[in-house]
Amino acid sequence: MSGSKKSPLKVAKPSSAESWTNPFDSDDEGKDSKKYSSSRKTSSERALATLEVNTNPFDDDIDANKKSSSTSYAFQSANRNRYKNDFRDSGGLENQSVQELESYAVYKAEETTNSVNNCLKIAENIREDATKTLVTLEQQGEQITRSHHVAADIDHDLSRGEKLLGSLGGLFSKTWKPKKTRAITGPVIVGDDPVRRKDNHLEQRDKLGLTSAPKGQSKLRTPPPEPTNALEKVEVEKKKQDDALSDLSDLLGELKDMAVDMGSEIERHNKALNHLYDDVDELNFRVKGANQRGRRLLGK
């Protein structure tokens, strides 16, 4: 995969703004300015083409002369540009030599490999972000449960407070009973809580012979032999594409599972928050009642 070649820098066509000349300029000035702008452009292009920034700390001992398999088929940028517009400038596909078409096939194969690799890279990034999101969701779930436990503790303390408020008051005062509309339930585990099931599903699949381990072992890829002609080169690229697409397929399957797990966890959170809301609402009602009783006692 690492051997795949990046497409070269496109030589930018002069924009309409550049080719436009001021009607009030003298001819000489126009020529001079054109000459200046074009020379400036080519020097910057040269700089871009030669500039190779080495940011990888592991690069120092890779032999500069040692090229990867794909670089042995280096093309001139002019040829590449012809490939980009499918030989429209040079009489179409049917007017090309066999050699030219072979080179074109290799170029297209490399381009496809690059595209597939980019897709894989994007999927990897998504997977990484999704993993972080799932960890955050797990943390959020724990926080909801803890908050609910605290609400249950408040209920316990409030009950003691209500007892004390009930026993206060004069000898002839009416006994006060706190109003309760419903009992405080505390955190409720919704359903069978599949997220926290303890039996290892993977182990069971393994015993059934459904594990993906053998598939994984077959993925230990041996590098193909150095290609000698265009056909072999295309085959190598196809092999790379197959490997990348296989990885991409696995990744997308995993992303789907992650999305499902995210959905079910958020649903669980919603239900837990509904229960929490009901309990907090009940606590609020009872605190108001206790405050009212306290004010009455102080008013006497």
Residues lying near another protein in the complex (CB under 8 A) are found at 1-2, 56-59, 61-63, 117, 120-121, 124, 127-128, 130-131, 134-135, 137-139, 142, 146, 194-198, 200, 202-203, 205-206, 211-213, 215-217, 219-221, 247, 250, 254, 258, 261, 265
CA 151 to mean position of chain CA atoms: 37
Cβ proximity to another protein: between 131 and 229 the closer is: 131
Cβ proximity to another protein: between 40 and 219 the closer is: 219
Q: Give least dist CB 214 to another protein, A.
A: 9
Q: Give least dist CB 132 to another protein, A.
A: 8
Cβ proximity to another protein: between 230 and 248 the closer is: 248
How many whole angstroms separate alpha carbon 79 and alpha carbon 160?
87
Are the CB atoms for 180 and 250 separated by under 8 Å?
A: no
Structural Rg of the chain based on CA atoms: 36
Residues 75-105: b if buried by 16+ CB within 10 A, e if exposed = beeeebebbeeebeeeeeeeebeeebebbbb
Are the CB atoms for 251 and 120 separated by under 8 Å?
A: yes
Angstrom CA distances, 204 to 185, 194, 209, stand at 35, 15, 9
Structure tokens at 297: 């006692």
Q: Give least dist CB 61 to another protein, A.
A: 5
CA 103 to mean position of chain CA atoms: 35
Cβ proximity to another protein: between 19 and 212 the closer is: 212
Cβ proximity to another protein: between 183 and 210 the closer is: 210
Q: Give least dist CB 147 to another protein, A.
A: 12
Q: Give least dist CB 197 to another protein, A.
A: 7
Cβ proximity to another protein: between 174 and 196 the closer is: 196
Are the CB atoms for 5 and 110 separated by under 8 Å?
A: yes
Question: Please, which residues have CB within 8 angstroms of residue 247's CB and are 6 or more apart in sequence?
Answer: 120
Q: What is the 3-state secondary structure (H, E, C) of 3-21?
A: CCCCCCCCCCCCCHHHHCC
Cβ proximity to another protein: between 27 and 61 the closer is: 61
Which of 36, 41, 49 is CA-nearest to residue 14?
41
Q: Give least dist CB 229 to another protein, A.
A: 24
Q: Give least dist CB 91 to another protein, A.
A: 38
Question: Please, which residues have CB within 8 angstroms of residue 226's CB and are 6 or more apart in sequence?
Answer: 69, 72
